[in-house]
Amino acid sequence: MEIQQPYLLFLGDARDTLAAKTAGGVAYWRPGVSVGQLRLPGCVVDLDLPDMTIAEGVAAGAKTLVIGVAVSGGAIPDEWSGLFRDALDAGLDIANGLHRRLVDLPGLTEAAAASGRRLIELRDPGTIAHVGSGLPRSGKRLLTVGTDASVGKMYTSLAIERELADRGVKCSFRATGQTGILIAGEGVPVDAVISDFISGSIEEICPANDADHWDVIEGQGSLFHPSFAGVSLGLLHGAQADALVMCHEPTRTHMRALPHQPLPSISDCIDANLAAARLTNDRVELVGFSINTSALSPGEGETFRKSIEDQFGLPAVDPVQTGVAPIVDRLVG
């Protein structure tokens, strides 16, 4: 799945930053990739990009209109379809990460056909039909794993990629979810592929590379999440990782969305991830922890991170508070 850049970011009538977090992630991690933002009346989010109409976005070079706003229930209002038809007529592709599909909106299929532009559904795995082999391949790979879903794996991966790039190390962020794919401009929505092809889809997006090149792969879910662990395991096997970073949110009391399901211990989670990862790379190592301390006071956060460092003898960063330099030190010295 590839998305043409630069983007015009569509924010709809977003009422808070959370609703526009996909667009916010793109603007934060790829500052140069969006020519502007398109906001409807009532939108309270501002990404500090020039406000543009579709015509202005096209004139500024935009190739894709990105629907970067979450809508309650995932539904795209029918009222937006006129705007989207205008975008297609003006020569833009449209990339959509929401559950409602663009083809279900009135007139969009016809408008796309007439203009020769694409309706890109970020939840559609496209033509992925590659069975993973587990065959050794060259290059270095890091994968973020987690005690739970939604604990900061994408953010951590992007922070590590940025730190590697800042040090002049050859590296690529490899996206496995909707927002990550928009940020990278390519990737695979691994939770949407046919289950026979989970590991194969990951082998496809991070193929053999230079011996000193790092792929930083966005993890998904957790081996301990009963809804999605199969995705996490296939991702581990396809990644063939040299380095794992364990992501954790210390205030969570149960697995996300499942009040009956306890969190694993960090120690059990490390053991299970390393054991599974060794199936395709027996040199895999845990290189550190990424702790999302946003729900703790600064003092509590630091105390928690230090306790993890003392227990496991590895760096425990908060990518927002401390950066990820201590982890990258272990990768490239």
Residue with token string 């380095």: 243
Nearest CA to 321 out of 289, 298, 288, 287 is that of 298
CB of 227: closest distance to a copy of itself in angstroms? 5
Burial class (CB in 10 A: 0-12, 13-18, 19+), 238: buried
CB of 273: closest distance to a copy of itself in angstroms? 12
CB of 191: closest distance to a copy of itself in angstroms? 4
CB of 307: closest distance to a copy of itself in angstroms? 26
Shorter beta-carbon distance to a copy of itself: residue 214 or 224? 224
As a whole number of angstroms, the distance between CA 174 and CA 184 comes to 7
Shorter beta-carbon distance to a copy of itself: residue 126 or 134? 134
Shorter beta-carbon distance to a copy of itself: residue 55 or 257? 257
CB of 294: closest distance to a copy of itself in angstroms? 26
Q: State the amino acid at position 129 in one-letter form.
A: A
Residue with token string 């739970």: 148
| Per-residue exposure over 184-208, b if at least 16 CB sit within 10 Å of its own CB, e if not | bbbbbbbbbbeeebbbbbbbbbbee
Shorter beta-carbon distance to a copy of itself: residue 237 or 248? 237
Angle of helix 266-277 versus helix 298-312 axis, rounded to 10: 50
Shorter beta-carbon distance to a copy of itself: residue 223 or 328? 223
CB of 26: closest distance to a copy of itself in angstroms? 23
CB of 202: closest distance to a copy of itself in angstroms? 10
CB of 258: closest distance to a copy of itself in angstroms? 6
Question: 47, 9 in Cβ contact below 8 A?
Answer: yes
The DSSP code sequence of 219-262 is P-S-TT-TTTHHHHHHHHHHHT-SEEEEEE-TT--SSTT-TT-P
Interior angle at CA 26, CA 21 and CA 27, nearest 5: 95
Shorter beta-carbon distance to a copy of itself: residue 35 or 255? 255
User: What residues line the site for a copy of itself (CB under 8 A)?
Assistant: 131-136, 190-196, 198-200, 223-224, 226-235, 237-238, 258, 260-261, 272, 275-276, 279-280
As a whole number of angstroms, the distance between CA 217 and CA 3 comes to 18
Shorter beta-carbon distance to a copy of itself: residue 231 or 331? 231
Shorter beta-carbon distance to a copy of itself: residue 274 or 320? 274
Which phi and psi (to 5°) does residue 236 adopt? -60, -45
DSSP state of 19: T
The residues pairing with 121 across neighbouring beta strands, listed in sequence order, are 96
